[in-house]
């Protein structure tokens, strides 16, 4: 196979799931606050070579329609450019740091824009939206999603993340269940509100419920409830997730991390 054919084949594999000319953005799904904020890695893939691009982030999501493009950002006063560069023949890899004072639980939404005069609007092409959730992993036990850890559900290929099952055209609902997670500290813990890292494309939803038990076998379980506080006094905690994918777009929500503080 010639080098040109190899490049064409690679491009088709890379962009097959989206518009063949649109860039793709990946952002690390989480950033840790302690002991210091982790730089947020980004990857921009674009079929255009030598084109200026930017990655813009906001604390709210879209979509907002602008010049015929769905912008997956909220246009808040803090929306800002975090990375700028020029596309190359391979993926453009970068990273940026969060400013001081960011609180745990914040979700940061990002989108890449590549200057392209051949785009339908004559100016630019926009990538998919991506997001990163800031987590303080020292506030309590963490549900570290892994198929080998006793979780049931659908896992995103290549990542330790739970994802909604593919909608089948009539049904868009799927479920996931965690194992029993032992708490830390007191044998009669009091649980705070969870810090959740999730990716919710337009027209998707994740509903979370929690319950507690006396041991890792689920003895004397509490009722299911929308807050971990329903498990107060029980040293083991479990969650279940109900995912609703979009029947309109086929988009699927992703659950990346859950951290439950102990009060």
CA 174, 175, 180: angle at the middle one, nearest 5? 170
Other CB atoms closer than 10 Å to residue 25's CB: what's the count? 22
- What is the pLDDT tens value at each position of the chain, 263 positions in all? 333 333 333 333 333 344 558 999 988 877 777 656 678 899 999 988 999 999 999 988 877 888 888 888 889 898 999 999 999 999 999 999 877 667 777 888 899 999 999 999 999 999 988 888 887 766 666 787 777 788 999 987 766 788 999 998 889 999 999 999 887 666 778 888 888 888 787 788 999 999 999 999 999 999 999 999 999 999 999 999 999 998 988 888 888 888 888 76
Separation CA 13–CA 109 (nearest Å): 26
* Contact (Cβ atoms closer than 8 angstroms) between residue 176 and residue 162: yes
Kindly report the three-state secondary structure assignment for every residue of the chain: CCHHHHHHHHHHHHHCCCCCCCCEEEECCEEECCCCCCCEEEEEECCCCCCEEEEEEECCCCCEEECCEEECCCCCCCCEEEEEEECCCCCEEEEECCCCCCCCCCEEEEEEEEECCCCCCCCEEEEEEEEEEEECCCCCCEECCCHHHCCECCECCCCCCEECCCCCCCCCEEEEECCCEECCCCCCCCECCCEEEEECCCCCEEEEEEEEECCCCCCCCCCCECCHHHHCCCCEEEEEEEEECCCCCCCCCEEEEEECCEC
The closest of 256, 261, 247 to 176, measured between CA atoms, is: 256
Q: Which CATH class is domain 3-135?
A: mainly beta
Minimal CA–CA distance to 23: which of 4, 58, 49? 49
Please name the residues in contact with 61: beta carbons below 8 A apart, sequence gap of 6 or more.
72, 73, 74, 109, 129, 131, 200
């Amino acid at each position: 196979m010639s080098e040109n054919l190899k490049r064409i084949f690679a491009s088709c594999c890379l962009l097959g799931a989206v518009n063949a000319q649109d860039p793709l953005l990946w952002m690390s799904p989480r950033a840790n606050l302690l002991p210091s904020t982790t730089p947020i890695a980004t990857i921009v893939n674009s079929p255009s070579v030598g084109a200026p691009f930017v990655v813009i982030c906001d604390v709210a999501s879209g979509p907002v329609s602008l010049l015929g493009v769905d912008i997956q950002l909220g246009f808040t006063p803090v929306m800002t450019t975090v990375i700028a560069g020029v596309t190359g023949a391979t993926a453009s890899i970068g990273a940026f740091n969060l400013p001081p004072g960011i609180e745990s639980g914040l979700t940061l939404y990002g989108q890449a824009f590549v200057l392209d005069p051949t785009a339908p609007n004559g100016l630019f092409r926009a990538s998919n939206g991506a997001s990163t959730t800031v987590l303080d992993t020292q506030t309590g036990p963490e549900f570290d999603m892994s198929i080998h850890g006793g979780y049931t559900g659908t896992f995103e290929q290549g990542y330790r993340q739970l994802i909604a099952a593919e909608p089948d055209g009539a049904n868009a609902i799927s479920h996931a269940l965690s194992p029993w997670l032992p708490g830390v500290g007191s044998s009669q813990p009091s649980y705070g509100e969870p810090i959740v890292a999730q990716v919710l494309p337009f027209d998707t939803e994740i509903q979370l419920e929690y319950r507690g038990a006396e041991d890792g076998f689920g003895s004397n379980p509490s009722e299911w409830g929308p807050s971990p506080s329903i498990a107060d006094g029980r040293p083991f905690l479990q969650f279940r997730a109900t995912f609703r994918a979009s029947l309109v777009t086929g988009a699927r929500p992703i659950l990346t991390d859950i951290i439950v503080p102990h009060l």
